[in-house]
Structure 1
């Protein structure tokens, strides 16, 4: 086992004092007793923390151990944990031990994930530093809430996301997608698509959540799009600053003279001012015509009576950020995968151009589910146990850090490898071949031509894009509907190709998963 610098230093100090004390006698012992006791205690503490506890006493030693690495900085985030899951396919979790002995848990099995996300969900909370960083960017709304505060907010907000209300937004989603198609046709040739995806989803969430038209699809100068574009840009500076918030006290982190702090301070101030203006307009509208006020998520929140104005503004920021940027990420990866798989694109176009509702189109639903599986919008989530708890039958002590990695979980070979059977409309039905966990295959989500909810696995916890349990994404149905309408509208009218096939597309991102350097597509009108 490698010896760390601190362990070596501690051993050297103990040896030095042993020699000095044996030579100098009682006088030196009395003179330096206080210093010696501190150094000895420090050395013993480091030895216990680095060697004895992890190897002999920690209950986490029951799980396979993997070498320490910086999983937060790698691209795509989740690449190394996926390799661990391949190495230990039957493990409930793997444990990474950091140099000073801290054990980080990576849950892998449905049982372990169920314990953390559902059974004992409120035993786990976000890292305080990351929570503070994200709260500055997307507001201290539902996503950032913990414990009883989260239960209260979830209960108050759930009615605003009922499926009937979401389905009623279908025409809005279709109309906005048509505006995007028209803009792309005007552009012609090659476009950087991730930029357009964000503009589309922002133009949908604006009227759907706030009854506010942003008009970002038809305007080149929009402060909302610009603010979120810079705040969520996958730049190395922002990623480094986000990670540093895990370790630095917030009074210090928020005062660092770095670009990331300036961006957050300026853009978040603009966004809060905008949200305050919209909220005041909503209050005025409700006072003047209670029954005639436009029905949106904001109206439901205000009328619940559960939030102060500042708390409502936090919720508005959360919905604006999470409600547009996550789906924009999924839409970008949808276009990427369809451009790579022209056969799927052709079959999808034929399906969309036929009759039927988006909810009942098998190929469209399969494509959306497969995109969410392969490119989860949030590739990694950090939790910390607030009390002693249980994970897959093993006692886990208070203070344990768990990293839930949807990118790796959604590609776990034990659950997503399998057998691919050719569909009935192919020339040689009944042929089969091995199916790899990282392969894009929408038919996973179909059974006898019908849509399924499990992708061929035996548990919903094999896919964690939207998490599960009390902390699952409240806007999951909204995001799925938005993606379906957007893909259907684009594929029906446009042929999609990779503009530069030689360029490697790598998943990165600060908060959400985005192609580093954007995604250049060649989109042309089809008859």
Structure 2
């Protein structure tokens, strides 16, 4: 919806009042120029508000005839308050359930009655994510928020710049390269189990908060695979990198408010507020950029003096000669954050699901021990860990079902960068469309009546007993955890391989349950999905 912005309205009101003051002095006798300005400004803002709140959305918008979700609508606020509801994405799932006849698009109104579209079926999702992916961009306010933490890495870029970066980074995530990284994944998974056992030795109640350890091990893995160096945060729980990422990603209400304010107000205004969180964001992001800059300098220096060809992600980007030093730092910030946080969250949620489903945990342990009677064999040089772990049907089923139920990024937005169409429906430039993995992955219309239940068996073919890629859904667009198309997660194979290794090692070494069987674990977070109060488990080490 195009129209004058507020600044233009002020200028227009100033022009009107100046003309009225000088051309019609008899009409406005006794009034100052300022008083006349406020009269015209009031009239103009009233017309502006009337047009944007009522006339355009209800009588002119080309989207007004689409199937609507009106439940909970509040004048002026619309359904905008749904962004505060938890778990993230649950409100979108409710819309899908309550408006089942929608042809792929549900229309609702955000703040100030702005048009919002929720995509619900594979055809609509394919249009936005694949066929017209560059007609739809990440919202500018999201990019502004994330740029503080990630710089101008691949997640932040659009159009030709995104194509260029993805093309030059893609070789680092090839199938062959991921297969070569399996020994790294497995060795760190074993190290995680050893560290947890040592921690439990000192605890009488055998209760441990897993999320902290999952962050450490995944950061170590991305350090080796991404930088070619062992950050060793598992051995050093006071590691500065861990502390900074845990502080940034901790799912608190204050951080939720901080994120939402970025959707409403400009960055300069938020930074001007006397808010302690502003200072903490400045310090933590400054530390992360400093650490990543040191990583890049060190890596370039070692590549000049060492004859061995480095195969980590950073080395591949350096050899491409397509990135400046600042560009390498930005990509590194992106991969360190996205590369460890995605699998860290997935491992935490997998442990939770297995804790509350002991029969699934037992069945998975039996499979792991059947395929791996002697874990030491996997550490022998040349052993094909990839083929072994990828051939275990129930392990892959559990991992797939975890990723389906708890996508790391539960919701994502796309703004139309030009006038376009979705399944024949005209979409004006500037319209916000929502792609919500949490809701799509749990939509009963796509997954059946047990869509919100943890059922790993849905990923195993009943006749052959082998793992399937569809989980019983009719379209791969029913599973959105890694999205699809040119903007899909470039590290999907990396994350899946890492999760297989971590889950297999952990279930083979421990038996566990929730520390408090009555605890209701609540997903939270701003961008990613994490348990609000951590994940406290009671573990029993196994021989």
TM-score by length of 1: 0.88
Alpha-carbon shift at residue 100 of structure 1 (Å): 2.2
Q: Report the secondary structure of 2:538's partner residue.
A: strand
Alpha-carbon shift at residue 252 of structure 1 (Å): 2.4
Does 2:492 correspond to 1:476?
yes
Does 2:56 correspond to 1:56?
no
* CA distance in 2: counterparts of 1:31 and 1:439, whole angstroms: 73
Alpha-carbon shift at residue 115 of structure 1 (Å): 1.2
Residue from 230, 247, 271 that aligns with 1:254: 271
Q: Show the 5 A alignment for 1:262-301.
A: 262-289=279-306, 291-301=307-317
The aligned counterpart of 1:210 is 227
Residues 35 and 369 of structure 1: is their aligned pair in 2 closer, same or farther, counting only changes over 3 Å?
same
Alpha-carbon shift at residue 29 of structure 1 (Å): 8.0
* CA distance in 2: counterparts of 1:98 and 1:133, whole angstroms: 20
Q: Report the secondary structure of 1:450's partner residue.
A: coil
Residue from 340, 351, 354 that aligns with 2:370: 354
Counterpart contact for 2:68–2:99, Cα < 8 Å: no
The aligned counterpart of 1:233 is 250
Residue from 404, 407, 420 that aligns with 1:389: 420
Q: Show the 5 A alignment for 1:299-314.
A: 299-314=315-330
Alpha-carbon shift at residue 155 of structure 1 (Å): 0.6
Residue from 442, 446, 449 that aligns with 2:456: 442
Alpha-carbon shift at residue 36 of structure 1 (Å): 6.0
* CA distance in 2: counterparts of 1:407 and 1:260, whole angstroms: 28
Does 2:375 correspond to 1:344?
no
Alpha-carbon shift at residue 41 of structure 1 (Å): 4.1
Alpha-carbon shift at residue 513 of structure 1 (Å): 0.6
Q: Which moved more, 1:162-171 or 1:126-135?
A: 126-135
The aligned counterpart of 1:165 is 177
Does 2:47 correspond to 1:44?
yes
Alpha-carbon shift at residue 56 of structure 1 (Å): 2.3
Counterpart contact for 1:184–1:523, Cα < 8 Å: no
* CA distance in 1: counterparts of 2:40 and 2:297, whole angstroms: 63
* CA distance in 2: counterparts of 1:35 and 1:233, whole angstroms: 46
Q: Report the secondary structure of 2:328's partner residue.
A: helix
* CA distance in 2: counterparts of 1:166 and 1:259, whole angstroms: 42
Does 2:196 correspond to 1:184?
yes
Alpha-carbon shift at residue 38 of structure 1 (Å): 5.1
* CA distance in 1: counterparts of 2:403 and 2:101, whole angstroms: 24
Residues 489 and 128 of structure 1: is their aligned pair in 2 closer, same or farther, counting only changes over 3 Å?
same
Alpha-carbon shift at residue 31 of structure 1 (Å): 8.7
Residue from 439, 442, 461 that aligns with 1:408: 439
The aligned counterpart of 1:142 is 154
* CA distance in 1: counterparts of 2:309 and 2:130, whole angstroms: 37
* CA distance in 2: counterparts of 1:199 and 1:220, whole angstroms: 8
Does 2:94 correspond to 1:83?
yes
Alpha-carbon shift at residue 137 of structure 1 (Å): 1.4
The aligned counterpart of 1:323 is 339
Alpha-carbon shift at residue 250 of structure 1 (Å): 2.1
Residues 116 and 30 of structure 1: is their aligned pair in 2 closer, same or farther, counting only changes over 3 Å?
farther
* CA distance in 2: counterparts of 1:90 and 1:487, whole angstroms: 39
* CA distance in 1: counterparts of 2:271 and 2:43, whole angstroms: 37
* CA distance in 2: counterparts of 1:395 and 1:484, whole angstroms: 43
Q: Report the secondary structure of 2:113's partner residue.
A: coil
Counterpart contact for 1:108–1:409, Cα < 8 Å: yes
* CA distance in 1: counterparts of 2:418 and 2:277, whole angstroms: 34
- 1:455-476 deviation digits (Å, cap 9, x = unpaired): 1111111111111110000001
Q: Which moved more, 1:265-274 or 1:92-101?
A: 92-101
Residues 31 and 404 of structure 1: is their aligned pair in 2 closer, same or farther, counting only changes over 3 Å?
farther
- 1:112-159 deviation digits (Å, cap 9, x = unpaired): 111111111111112222212112113320111111110110111101
Q: Report the secondary structure of 1:512's partner residue.
A: coil
Q: Which moved more, 1:70-79 or 1:170-179?
A: 70-79
Q: Report the secondary structure of 2:154's partner residue.
A: coil
Alpha-carbon shift at residue 27 of structure 1 (Å): 6.3
Q: Report the secondary structure of 2:477's partner residue.
A: helix
Alpha-carbon shift at residue 98 of structure 1 (Å): 3.0
* CA distance in 2: counterparts of 1:503 and 1:41, whole angstroms: 54
- 1:98-117 deviation digits (Å, cap 9, x = unpaired): 35221111111111111111
Alpha-carbon shift at residue 211 of structure 1 (Å): 1.2
Counterpart contact for 1:50–1:99, Cα < 8 Å: no
TM-score by length of 2: 0.86
Residue from 390, 395, 398 that aligns with 2:429: 398
Counterpart contact for 2:80–2:111, Cα < 8 Å: no
Counterpart contact for 1:499–1:520, Cα < 8 Å: yes
The aligned counterpart of 2:109 is 97
* CA distance in 2: counterparts of 1:37 and 1:509, whole angstroms: 44
Aligned residues: 484
Counterpart contact for 1:138–1:322, Cα < 8 Å: no
* CA distance in 2: counterparts of 1:172 and 1:34, whole angstroms: 69
* CA distance in 1: counterparts of 2:176 and 2:37, whole angstroms: 71
* CA distance in 1: counterparts of 2:37 and 2:317, whole angstroms: 61
